[in-house]
Structure 1
Amino acid sequence: MTPKEPQPEPQNYGTGISTDAPGGRRLVLPLSNHISSTYTILTNPVSRPRRRRLISLPPKTKTGRMILLISILLIGSFLHYMWKAEAALSKPWTPDDGSIDFSQRPLSPPANETFLPSPGYKLPLRTKGRDIVDQNGKRFKLSSINWYGASDELFIPGGLDVQHRDVIAATIRSLGFNSVRMPYSDEMVISNPDVPPHLLAANRDLVGERALDVFEATVTALTDAGLAVIVNNHITTATWCCGTDPCDAGWANDYLPGGLCRVRQTEAQWIEHWETVMGRFVDNPLVIGADLRNEVRGLWGTMPWEKWASAAERAGNVLLRMNPDWLIIVGGTESGNDLTGVKRRPVELDEEDRVVYSAHVYSWSGWGSVGGRYSKRTYSSFAKAMRKKWGYLVEENLAPVWIGEFGAPDRPGIGDVNYWQNLVRYLKEMDADFGYWAINPRKPRDNERESYSLVKDDWVTPVLDYRMKDMTELRRK
């Protein structure tokens, strides 16, 4: 028998593994000399018991691990910084000496010459450059407040269960406001429901009336008190405005899939609702205008200015055929913040000198922009944004701009006050028309407390704090 020749030892090709092969041979599998992760290799399950071997493979690279670690540290540091920044903005503000002193003195009575019925004004109003003026060219500066409720679930202005509408009108006048923005919903016009008696507990003469009748009576109480009124189409569905619901993001929602919107309307129906509401005020000279739509934004901020401007022209011209003396107020896109499109495409109506533009400015406005929300901006950054969004129209004497909504809480944080002080400073510099949100001490849903209110729950006692102090100074400009 020929003896079996001895098998040569396998050559070493570097780091590898040794494993039994069929026939009793041993194989060495060459691997890279780089050391990294380990893998488990199983031997032939038939010829040998299972054994696990660890092998070294090349790393995904140490550089990759380092990049991942650095990225995690950077993200963590950024999130920590943001958390600290937000916490700082939310820190309660301590009132300054001027605000404390103001709160301890009775509110001075307003000057009669700031109200339209005074002999100093001759109606109707028009626009001239950056101003709203009377027939003699005298400026009428809108110093307004919002009185909401008819746009919400209860369909009527708030507070009619607490005070008579004449009392609330007198309160608004005593606070120094010369005009009131009155929102309504399209659903209120469509359904025009009966009003439950308990919502009219302080206005028993209105029990049995429907929502539109109550709205008209409230507006009439304001004008009887010498206050100018601007009617505002606030929202389609009667609810608190404004959320992410696409059904309420514009004046018409019939382009959306059927069944999506509880209240569905076309542009033509939107205009018809305007005719229904304003038809009640054709002969009331102190109902001075129509704020066509609140915070137009389209689907998640996609509303083109040109589309909105064209719709505003169609609605405005219909209303001016009813009464050519009304002012037509057109708000900006992006929830009322953006009027940059006016420069390239102004709203032009059949009647000249009737267009007033409107912007809304809150502490959270500006989110998503490079500079961030207005609550965290320096004054130079804030003023630059205002000038770009709407201030240029006033600075260049192109058209009036009314800040139809702005406001802040009675117990503000540092960020709230930063926004507020920047805005008040800018409004003073521009001598701009303004409309505060809001008079209501309670929200319609669940009777929730309204922290932005300027009166207490009795709808009579004023809240004399930093906000009222600053608005008193704004009116003096």
Structure 2
Amino acid sequence: MSYPFKLQIRLSALPVPVPVITMASSSPTQLLLGLLLVLLASARAASVSLPALPLSTTSRWVVDADGRRVKLVCANWAAHLEPVAAEGLSRRGVGDIAARVAAMGFNCVRLTWPTYLATNATLSSLPLRWSLERLGLRESAAGVRVNNPDLLDLPLIDVFREVVSALSSNSIMVILDNQMTTPGWCCSRTDGNGFFGDKYFDPEEWLKGLSAMATMFRDTENVVGMSLRNELRGPYQNVSLWYRYMQQGAEAVHAANPNVLVILSGLDFDNSLSFLSPKQVKLSFTGKLVFEQHWYGFSDGTDWENWNQNDACGVAVESIRTKGLFLLQQGWPLFFSEIGFDMSGTHIADNRYLTCFLSVAAEMDLDWAVWALEGSYYIREGILAYDETYGLLTWDWYTARNPSLIERINSLQSPFQGPGLPSSHKPYNVIFHPLTGLCVLVESTNVLKLGPCHESNAWNYTSAHELVLKHTGQCLEAKSVGDTAKLGTGCSKSCSKWQLISDSGMHVSSEITKNGTRVCLEAGPDGVITTDQCKCLTEDPSCDPESQWFKVISSSRGIPGEASVLRLPSLGPWPPTSSSSR
């Protein structure tokens, strides 16, 4: 279902410079988007800055140096493929790419690297020009000469440093992710990079590489974390070796750079951390440990296509709960460092997965990272200029591939919960609609409508299953099938009792007659909330329940009217920020 109403955003928080629009390379649609960006950016009152660093952890939260929650909302930027350089440098200036990350509302980049970049001096000292030309990528080298001339003849390790520096200039935090040992596309079970002892995975060389990278960026403020290894996998994987080497890797990184978060991945392509439930890691330090987990639509097989959507979401959530989400309840930070989906919006399974993920991300207030930033690769699996359909950016890196997606995830780019938020000691509920990324607001006529979550009313979902508007004595009432949902004062009536039903737990349902007729909240195409017959509760895999999916979540954000913590996105296209590469 399409929703024609638009997210209303506060212009003062938009973190992008005023663009200069040129006619030569812009389509009418791009020109219109650019003009809108000019109007938005001209109203910008303040730029976004890095949090107080370094970061640390307290219970399940990542916090800044002042003890305030920092929500990691990241884009994955690949730099581990055969050229051993951050993708896109042939398309846009490195500073421009960093500005695009910030403009889309992200505060962090998970920047990948192969071990050989840190341990093989011949490779790390190779000029970027030569690295591209040895692979036959002369067109890419020519593109770098145009867009990043200062980088073309730098050694690969210095190009990597310049990328980190450009991100710092745009107040973007960096997590260094050791993706592979040998440069190349990740991952398969038999690529020799999967687990300790594999053909290309010598534990000693890996430890040497981690120490070298941690040391290299010890004084680089915006490098806030290091992910020890991506997607451990393959026939050699086992739990005992995981504990041995991951603990050694964590100690090596902390010894070289005690400022960074140390991020540990699990087994089975980072789908499982279940072995940690009975036995935690033992480290000499505290306050720096974070775990990471991956979740893609294909992680759940064909369930999203073949099952009823409520069933598929319920089963998928229970699976990730047993494989990793339990760590949050145990008081450990968990970072979903790769979530990904086809950005075209035409892949049914990915669309269904995404709505389910957003519901979990809102309910648990997860830290997360999208795969991927890049709209295309220099070369991937032998294909030149490979189009990344999972990419946030278009093939030419000019604008957002799916602008509506950027709007949809905006409400999840700022924390709902955690230390240091305005209402940390007096949390309340908001009613989140994952299909749109919006929340339920009460209009002056007591009609309910979807709107920006930073403008959400403060609700209280009571133990008696009432949805009470705080400080008013009014509660949500269901009148009849097809009627608009409104506030009333009959909070003890059955029509004011709201149960969370279906296997997804996202149908918010009430009983309107004594014979048991039930209705569910539904968001109409105009965003107005109605009460209608509950749909898709059966096993029909073709039924779409998402207009009736809501999550009642906890929030400690400031009540509307108070200072906002929302970091607002811009959809592009974005012009160059300067003529230089940084």
Q: TM-score, normalised by structure 1?
A: 0.71
Q: Specify which structure has the bigger relative contact order, considering alpha-carbon pairs within 8 angstroms and separated by 6 or more residues.
A: 2
Aligned residue identity for 2:142: H
1:165 and 2:165 equivalent?
A: no
1:177-233 deviations in whole A, cap 9, x for unaligned? 000000011233322232224362211112221111111111111112111100000
Judge which range, 225-234 or 182-191, deviates more: 182-191
Pick from 289, 292, 303 the counterpart of residue 228 of structure 2. 292
1:243 and 2:188 equivalent?
A: yes
Pick from 155, 172, 186 the counterpart of residue 210 of structure 1. 155
1:96 and 2:9 equivalent?
A: no
1:234 and 2:154 equivalent?
A: no
Following superposition, the deviation at residue 152 of structure 1 comes to 0.3
Aligned residue identity for 2:315: S
Following superposition, the deviation at residue 353 of structure 1 comes to 1.3
Structure-1 separation of matches of 2:252 and 2:179 = 19
Following superposition, the deviation at residue 390 of structure 1 comes to 1.3
Pick from 458, 461, 469 the counterpart of residue 399 of structure 2. 461
Q: Percent identity?
A: 25
8 Å Cα contact 1:366/1:373 also seen in 2: no
Structure-1 separation of matches of 2:105 and 2:44 = 8
1:219 and 2:141 equivalent?
A: no
Change over 3 Å in CA distance of 1:375–1:158 after alignment to 2? farther
Q: Which of the two has higher C-alpha Rg?
A: 1
Change over 3 Å in CA distance of 1:375–1:409 after alignment to 2? farther
Partner of 1:335, secondary structure, is coil
Following superposition, the deviation at residue 349 of structure 1 comes to 2.2
8 Å Cα contact 2:264/2:291 also seen in 1: yes
Aligned residue identity for 1:143: V
Structure-2 separation of matches of 1:325 and 1:349 = 15
Partner of 2:210, secondary structure, is helix
Following superposition, the deviation at residue 378 of structure 1 comes to 2.1
Partner of 1:248, secondary structure, is coil
Judge which range, 337-346 or 419-428, deviates more: 337-346
1:123 and 2:53 equivalent?
A: yes
1:180 and 2:109 equivalent?
A: yes
1:386-445 deviations in whole A, cap 9, x for unaligned? 211111111x14211111001111223211111111111111111000000111010232
8 Å Cα contact 2:128/2:155 also seen in 1: yes
1:134 and 2:53 equivalent?
A: no
8 Å Cα contact 1:223/1:286 also seen in 2: yes
Structure-2 separation of matches of 1:278 and 1:334 = 26
Partner of 2:401, secondary structure, is coil
Aligned residue identity for 1:461: T
8 Å Cα contact 2:192/2:201 also seen in 1: no
Moved over 3 A (4+): 98-116, 366-369, 371-377
Following superposition, the deviation at residue 471 of structure 1 comes to 1.7
Look up the match of 1:447: 385
1:283 and 2:219 equivalent?
A: yes
8 Å Cα contact 2:265/2:293 also seen in 1: yes
8 Å Cα contact 1:376/1:418 also seen in 2: no
Judge which range, 172-181 or 208-217, deviates more: 208-217
Structure-1 separation of matches of 2:45 and 2:175 = 20
Following superposition, the deviation at residue 114 of structure 1 comes to 10
Partner of 1:442, secondary structure, is coil
1:413 and 2:310 equivalent?
A: no
Change over 3 Å in CA distance of 1:392–1:169 after alignment to 2? same
Structure-2 separation of matches of 1:374 and 1:188 = 46
Following superposition, the deviation at residue 373 of structure 1 comes to 10
Partner of 1:356, secondary structure, is strand
Where does structure 2 lack aligned partners over 5 or more consecutive residues?
9-28, 130-140, 417-582
Change over 3 Å in CA distance of 1:99–1:314 after alignment to 2? farther
Following superposition, the deviation at residue 240 of structure 1 comes to 0.8
Partner of 2:150, secondary structure, is helix
8 Å Cα contact 2:88/2:377 also seen in 1: no
Partner of 1:216, secondary structure, is helix
Aligned residue identity for 2:72: L
Partner of 1:247, secondary structure, is coil
8 Å Cα contact 1:374/1:419 also seen in 2: no
1:152 and 2:103 equivalent?
A: no
8 Å Cα contact 2:376/2:394 also seen in 1: no
8 Å Cα contact 1:438/1:454 also seen in 2: yes
8 Å Cα contact 1:251/1:293 also seen in 2: no
Aligned residue identity for 2:287: D
Structure-1 separation of matches of 2:296 and 2:308 = 7
Superposition pairs for residues 328-367 of structure 1, below 5 Å?
A: 328-367=262-301
Following superposition, the deviation at residue 236 of structure 1 comes to 1.7
Which has the larger helix fraction? 1
Superposition pairs for residues 56-71 of structure 1, below 5 Å?
A: none
1:379 and 2:317 equivalent?
A: no
Structure-2 separation of matches of 1:356 and 1:275 = 18
